[in-house]
Amino acid sequence: MSQTQNDILKRALDREKAARKQAEKILEKKSSELFQLSKQLKETNFRLENLVNEKTSQLQGVFENIIDAYIVFDLLGNIVKMNDAALKLLDLETQSDTLNLLKIAHPNEQDRVIQAFKELLEKGSVTDFYVKIITSKGLVKWVHINCSLVYKNKEPIAAQGIARDMTESRIQDELIQDQKGELDVIVNNSAIGIVLTQKGHLVRTNKLFQDMTGYTEEELQGLTIKDLSLAEDFPKSKVLLDQMIRGEVDNFTLNKRYKRKNGSIIWAKTNVNAVRDKNNVLRYQVALIEDITSERETELNVNLINNVTKSILDKTEIHDIALEIVNNLGDYLESEDCVIFLINPDTEVISQIATFGSKQGSEKRIRMAKTLKIGQGIVGAVVKTGVSEIIPDTSKDDRYVKDKVRAYSEITVPILSKGKVIAVIDSEHKEKNYYTKNHVKTLEKVANLVAFKLTTALDVIERKKAEDRNELLLKELETSNNELKEYAHVVSHDLKSPLRAIDALTAWLKEDYKETIGAGGNDNIDLIRANIQKMDTLISGILEYSTISGNKVDFYEVDTDKMVDDILEMMLLPPNISIVKESDLPSINGDKHRLQQLFQNLIDNAIKYNDKEEGLIEIGVEDENDFWKFYVKDNGKGIEKAYFVKIFETFQKLENNPDSSGIGLSIVNKIVKLYGGKVWVESQVSVGTTFFFTLKK
Amino acid sequence: MKGIIFSEFLDLVEEKFGLEMVDHIISSSDLESQGVYTAIGTYNFSEMLQLLQHLSKSTEISIDQLLLIYGEHFFRVIEDSYPGLLATYKDPIEMISSIENHIHVEVRKIYPDAELPTFDVLEKTENSVILIYKSSRAMHHFGLGLMNKTFEHFNATPTIVLEKIKEDGTEVRFIIKN
């Protein structure tokens, strides 16, 4: 072996040694690491073992101390093992070897138990199984069972179950049901509507609320507060509800309207209370609802009657009165349309005289408003019958006369005076079934209340018309009187001058041709002149008569005693007549000239128609309370009774005497009447006549 | 790189070329380990490269050829040391396909810090498989040698085509048909 080979081998050997040492070193290190690991492993194992033991004993404890009954049974249902709770549940003293689950089950439950056992074997577990059992003491108990299979090497070997006695809780449940039933009785017999809502939806309602609204409980459950509220009222309750949701308030009360199933409205006082959970979040709202429709109605009625009475008190004009009535009624009825129609009995036309909401200056509008004939439309029908009407749905009433838009409800109430319809109150509303019997009652009350006032206003109108008419007549009369007077004056003057000419001419004729015309001619001329004389007297009488008129000349005190003396003095008395004043005559308020005419005419007549040799005329007076009763008595020819009235008429005379105009007594009559007195005559033919007349003191 | 690769390599060199060659390539290389290798140790891969380069120079055999032979030699180590591993396979395609998912998993149990190449299965039928080899070491021919011996072990004569995806041999496609 060469040196080179030796060196190679030596180096190879050195490498091998070094490799071995290196390997040993690595192994030592690994061995030490292994030792540490195994040590740790031992400690861990020890701890695990302890844990397992602990858990096992805990489980044992759990098994024994578990409150619920725990039973282990084989796959045939035979009980293998059970805890104390299970013994107690089954009323057993000690563990029995031969107890099978099927024997424990109530006879009625056998099928269900078998079914459940099958399910256990197929699915490996049964949960929430409720079953009735009979204990060894014969007690029936309700138990709740959860059970599962126990496996060994993936093969089921037994089953375990936990049973809980639910008998107590069943009893509790029944008790709660009973109490709930009692509560329901209270709620359902409450005199106040009770509603439980959640987020605006009705969850529960009581009987009274169902009756109040006319819905069934099921129907109400599908509804919201909004569905039941009137659109006008909802915003108000929404504000309060939102405050409640935000937790700002816990309860509130408001008066609002509810829509009933039939569409009518009720007013209710609503008290809403919040029911919150422990986080203060609103869960429910309980509303107590009290129907205040009739109370409200009464209050409104009283207010309405007061308001109407007050507001028409100082009104006299019929349009003003009607306007106050419709404005008050419109507010009360909460309708935009309320009208009063007035009936004109002459034309049989019914016309609007006031509409709700119109102002004083709306005469024009009223004038343009519709008019109806009696019998036309619902208003016209009510005028005819005098009986109030409610139309719940105008679309089903042929009589309805549409104005601009159809209103579905209408109420029409007559205003009667002495049994006759003088006016009609009429209101319309856009919704059906709006007006109630209470509305009719109230409107009828108002109609009664205002009937008198309206009648008075109508009378005022009538009187005004009559006054206007009289004034006109009076004016016409005055004019024609004046015309007449003037005419009489003109005629008499114009007639008198040719008469005077004829008189003068006939006088000359007689003087100049007395001889020529002979006795016959003279007689005729005398006759002509007598007639001319007669005509002159007539014309003078007319003149005189026409100057006595209603115009009151200045009145002053006239001493009639002195006045009669003056008259007698001025007169040329025939020698056979004597005149006697029986008593002193009084002073009279009047016009001397007239009074003189009065007395002179009567005395003239007494003289003129006296046929006795010794004529006697007596003048006197008697006191008759407010009046003086004068008389002029004669013992002349007398007058037949048939002429007692006729003699006072113009141009009536009993004899054809050219000196008599037939106007004297009519002038007497006219003057006495002018002074507010009376004139009459008492007479006996050929014995004498007495003229009486009275004059105001 | 695991020491067993070095020690088995040097044993093969000694068997084929004599102890002088072993001594020569060790003394020619600049080795941190001084050429002392134990199977359970871990050494720098650059040492293997130096040993291979010097052997290739001295023997005038290409490095790939040397690695192929070494691979074929290394199969014997597996045969001797882990007969149970081979026994679980009845089919070479099956065995080669499961390098990544089974064999390397077993290797890591013994050498937890081993730096192994990856063999991703691209396509596989009953008697063919396409694998992508990836390793910074570019020792694809070592793998090829192992594969040859594997088929031989199962008495099969497949065609194995080796295509370089990257020129430096760090990524290579094996197309194997039985």
A183-217: per-residue pLDDT in tens?
888 888 888 899 999 888 998 898 889 998 999 98
Handedness of CA B27, B31, B35, B36 (dihedral sign): positive
DSSP structure class, residue A94: S
Distance from the Cα of B18 to chain A's closest Cα (Å) equals 11
Read off the pLDDT of each residue in A71-79 and give the average, rounded to a whole number: 87
In this predicted structure, which of A440-449, A543-552, A587-596 has the lowest mean pLDDT?
Answer: A543-552
Q: Does B110 touch chain A (CB under 8 A)?
A: no
Q: Find the Cα–Cα–Cα–Cα dihedral A233, A239, A244, A250, rounded to 10°.
A: -60
Query: Looking at the partner chain, which of A12, A18, A23 has a beta carbon nearest the beta carbon of B40?
Result: A23
Query: Phi, psi (5° rounding) for residue A78?
Result: -80, 130
Read off the pLDDT of each residue in A535-548 and give the average, rounded to a whole number: 76
B39 to chain A: nearest residue by CA?
A23
- Non-local (6+) Cβ contacts of A276 within 8 A are A247, A282, A283
Same domain, B99 and B55: no
Protein fold of A548-696: Heat Shock Protein 90 (3.30.565)
Are A685 and A638 contacting, i.e. CB atoms less than 8 angstroms apart?
Answer: yes
Percent of chain A with pLDDT over 70: 94
Q: Please answer yes or no on whether A18 and B36 come within 8 Å at the CB atom.
A: yes
Q: Does B22 touch chain A (CB under 8 A)?
A: yes
Distance from the Cα of B35 to chain A's closest Cα (Å) equals 7
Same domain, B110 and B135: yes
Please state the pTM of the whole predicted model: 0.38
Question: Is the model's pLDDT at A58 over the cut of 80?
Answer: no
Are A457 and A317 contacting, i.e. CB atoms less than 8 angstroms apart?
Answer: yes
Which pLDDT tens digit goes with each residue over A584-601?
899 988 888 888 888 988
What the block records as the tokens of A416 is 């009667």
Task: Supply the mean pLDDT for chain A.
Answer: 85
Are B93 and B127 contacting, i.e. CB atoms less than 8 angstroms apart?
Answer: yes
Same domain, B15 and B39: yes
Question: Is the model's pLDDT at A660 over the cut of 70?
Answer: no
- Non-local (6+) Cβ contacts of A318 within 8 A are A342, A353, A454, A457, A458, A461
Are B26 and B40 contacting, i.e. CB atoms less than 8 angstroms apart?
Answer: no
Residues of chain B with C-beta less than 8 angstroms from the C-beta of A20: 38
Which pLDDT tens digit goes with each residue over A132-188?
898 888 888 889 999 998 888 788 888 888 888 888 888 888 888 888 888 888 888
Question: Is the model's pLDDT at A395 over the cut of 90?
Answer: no
Beta-bridge partners for B164: B172
Beta-bridge partners for B171: B134
| Rounded CA separation A445/A549 (Å) | 56
Give the domain range for residue B16.
3-61
Which pLDDT tens digit goes with each residue over A508-533?
988 888 888 888 888 888 888 888 88
Residues A122-155: b if buried by 16+ CB within 10 A, e if exposed? eeeebeebebbbbeeeeeebbbbbebbbeeeeee
Are A635 and A615 contacting, i.e. CB atoms less than 8 angstroms apart?
Answer: yes
Question: Is the model's pLDDT at A68 over the cut of 70?
Answer: yes
Confidence of residue A361 (pLDDT cuts 50, 70, 90): very low
- Non-local (6+) Cβ contacts of A674 within 8 A are A548, A550, A594
CB neighbours (10 Å) of residue A302? Answer: 10
Interface test with B, best of A1, A3, A11 (most B CBs within 10 A): A11
**The domain A314-468 belongs to what CATH superfamily?**
GAF domain (3.30.450.40)
DSSP structure class, residue A262: T
Same domain, B39 and B79: no
Which pLDDT tens digit goes with each residue over A427-436?
988 888 889 8
Helix (H) or strand (E) holding A354: strand A349-355
> Domain residue spans in chain A?
1-65, 66-171, 190-291, 314-468, 548-696
Distance from the Cα of B23 to chain A's closest Cα (Å) equals 6
Which pLDDT tens digit goes with each residue over A297-324?
888 888 888 988 898 888 888 888 898 8
Same domain, B141 and B54: no
Token pair 């009235």 is found at: A645
Interface test with A, best of B11, B23, B27 (most A CBs within 10 A): B23
Alpha helices, DSSP H only, in A189-246?
Answer: 207-213, 217-221, 225-228, 234-245
Helix (H) or strand (E) holding A110: helix A110-123
What the block records as the tokens of B128 is 């063919």
Q: Does A23 touch chain B (CB under 8 A)?
A: yes
The whole-number pLDDT of residue A360 equals 46
Same domain, B75 and B40: no
The domain boundary, picked from B14, B35, B61, lies at: B61
| Rounded CA separation B30/B10 (Å) | 16
Which pLDDT tens digit goes with each residue over B73-109?
999 888 888 888 888 888 888 888 888 888 888 888 8
Question: Is the model's pLDDT at A493 over the cut of 80?
Answer: no
Q: Please answer yes or no on whether B40 and A8 come within 8 Å at the CB atom.
A: no
Same domain, B162 and B102: yes
**Is residue A671 classed exposed, middle or buried when 0-12, 13-18 and 19+ CB atoms within 10 A define those classes?**
buried
Residues of chain B with C-beta less than 8 angstroms from the C-beta of A18: 34, 36
Q: How far is CA A173 from CA A65, A167, A307, in A?
A: 27, 10, 61
Confidence of residue A622 (pLDDT cuts 50, 70, 90): very high
Q: Does A41 touch chain B (CB under 8 A)?
A: no
| Rounded CA separation A475/A138 (Å) | 124
Read off the pLDDT of each residue in A245-250 and give the average, rounded to a whole number: 87
Confidence of residue A654 (pLDDT cuts 50, 70, 90): low
Read off the pLDDT of each residue in A440-466 and give the average, rounded to a whole number: 89
Same domain, B73 and B110: yes
Residues B115-127: b if buried by 16+ CB within 10 A, e if exposed? eebebeeeeeeee
Look at domain A66-171 and name its CATH class: alpha beta
Question: Is the model's pLDDT at A681 over the cut of 90?
Answer: yes
Same domain, B29 and B53: yes
CA A3 to chain centre: 145
Which SS3 state, helix, strand or coil, does residue A385 take?
helix
Which SS3 state, helix, strand or coil, does residue A443 take?
helix
Same fold, A66-171 and A548-696: no
Q: Please answer yes or no on whether B35 and A15 come within 8 Å at the CB atom.
A: yes
Are A319 and A354 contacting, i.e. CB atoms less than 8 angstroms apart?
Answer: yes
Same domain, B77 and B164: yes
| Rounded CA separation B76/B82 (Å) | 10
In this predicted structure, which of A6-20, A411-425, A662-676, B156-170 has the lowest mean pLDDT?
Answer: A662-676
Interface test with A, best of B10, B25, B28, B38 (most A CBs within 10 A): B38
Q: Does B67 touch chain A (CB under 8 A)?
A: no
The whole-number pLDDT of residue A282 equals 86
Same domain, B13 and B50: yes
Domain count, chain B: 2
A22 to chain B: nearest residue by CA?
B38
Q: Please answer yes or no on whether A22 and B41 come within 8 Å at the CB atom.
A: yes
| Rounded CA separation A284/B157 (Å) | 86
Which SS3 state, helix, strand or coil, does residue A373 take?
strand
Which pLDDT tens digit goes with each residue over A456-474?
888 888 898 899 999 999 9
CATH of region A190-291, choose from 3.40.109.10, 3.40.50.670, 3.40.50.720, 3.30.450.20 = 3.30.450.20
- Non-local (6+) Cβ contacts of A658 within 8 A are A530, A531, A533, A534, A537
Same domain, B54 and B99: no
Question: Is the model's pLDDT at A575 over the cut of 90?
Answer: no
What the block records as the tokens of A208 is 């009274």
Confidence of residue A364 (pLDDT cuts 50, 70, 90): very low
Distance from the Cα of B67 to chain A's closest Cα (Å) equals 23
Confidence of residue A653 (pLDDT cuts 50, 70, 90): low
Query: Looking at the partner chain, which of B34, B36, B38 has a beta carbon nearest the beta carbon of A26?
Result: B38
The whole-number pLDDT of residue B134 equals 93
Q: How far is CA A440 from CA A295, A322, A389, A605, B121, in A?
A: 17, 18, 8, 78, 100
Closest by Cα among A618, A620, A680 to A647: A680
